[in-house]
Amino acid sequence: MTFFQTYQTELIASLFIIVFLIIIRSISKKLIYKLGKKTGINDARIHLISRYATVTLILLALLIETFIFGAQLKDLALVFSSVFAVIGIALFAIWSILSNITSGVIMFFSFPYKVGDKIQIHDKDFPIEGIIEDIRAFQLHLRLDNGDLVTYPNNLMLQKAVTLVKKDAIDEGVDAI
């Protein structure tokens, strides 16, 4: 018997899963793009969030494929517990990076400010006021009034109070809170 004859039903199920996840990916990509354009988010951030969704779907497909080809739940539990133990130790070392990525995803869907807005960050140690130039996966780029560029971590943006400086106050040169 050949491989294709032996695993014919598994291969057909895999094909249906792959087609289904490709359809889900295209729908989610369109929804992310529409949401990003509707809220005025730049194309680089839209593309980044779309990549995150694609990677999540690929991992989900791999998990489903293991069940299709006969993996038992107890076998997967052993593999996942071993892998997550190693990953957990590694991720503990880089938790700050992961919190910034997670904050970047949250900011994509619910951040009330966009590129070009002038904001004031109420940090007791280092208060900042500037214009948002870019919102990236790890940090926000703010251009200060003196021309300096400040990168501010995304996770701190969600932890600190932020005020939008009124646009008419910018035009008149008056600070407004």
Q: What does each of the 177 residues of the chain score in pLDDT, given as a tens digit?
A: 687 788 888 889 999 999 999 999 999 999 999 988 888 888 888 888 899 899 999 988 988 888 888 777 777 778 778 887 877 777 676 777 778 888 888 888 877 888 889 999 998 888 899 999 988 888 889 999 999 999 998 888 888 888 888 765 444 454 444
Task: Please report, to the nearest 10 degrees, the dihedral formed by the alpha carbons of residues 170, 46, 93, 96 taken in order.
Answer: 20
Regarding whether 51 and 123 lie in a shared domain, the answer is no
100 falls within a domain = no
Q: In angstroms, rounded to a whole number, what is the distance separating the alpha carbons of residues 32 and 165?
A: 28
Count the helices and strands in the chain (H runs, E runs). 7, 5
CATH of the domain at 38: 1.10.287
Residue 105 lies in a domain: no
CA distance linking residue 16 with residue 2, whole number of Å: 21
Q: Are 127 and 163 members of one domain?
A: yes
- Give the pLDDT of residue 174: 46
Boundaries of domain holding 88: 3-93
Is 102 inside a domain boundary?
A: no
Regarding whether 116 and 78 lie in a shared domain, the answer is no
Q: Are 166 and 84 found together in one domain?
A: no
Q: Is residue 98 part of a domain?
A: no
Rounded CA-CA distance 154/101 in Å is 8
Q: Output the domain CATH number for residue 147.
A: 2.30.30.520
With respect to residue 88, please indicate whether it lies within any of the assigned structural domains: yes
What pLDDT does residue 69 have?
Answer: 81
CA quadruple 139, 41, 131, 122: dihedral positive or negative? Answer: negative
How many structural domains is the chain composed of?
A: 2
**Same-domain status, 132 and 165:** yes
Do 87 and 11 belong together in one domain?
yes
State residue 123's pLDDT score.
86
Q: State the pLDDT at residue 101.
A: 82
| Contact (Cβ atoms closer than 8 angstroms) between residue 45 and residue 135 | yes
116 touches 170 (CB < 8 A): no
Q: How far apart are CA 153 and CA 139, in angstroms?
A: 4
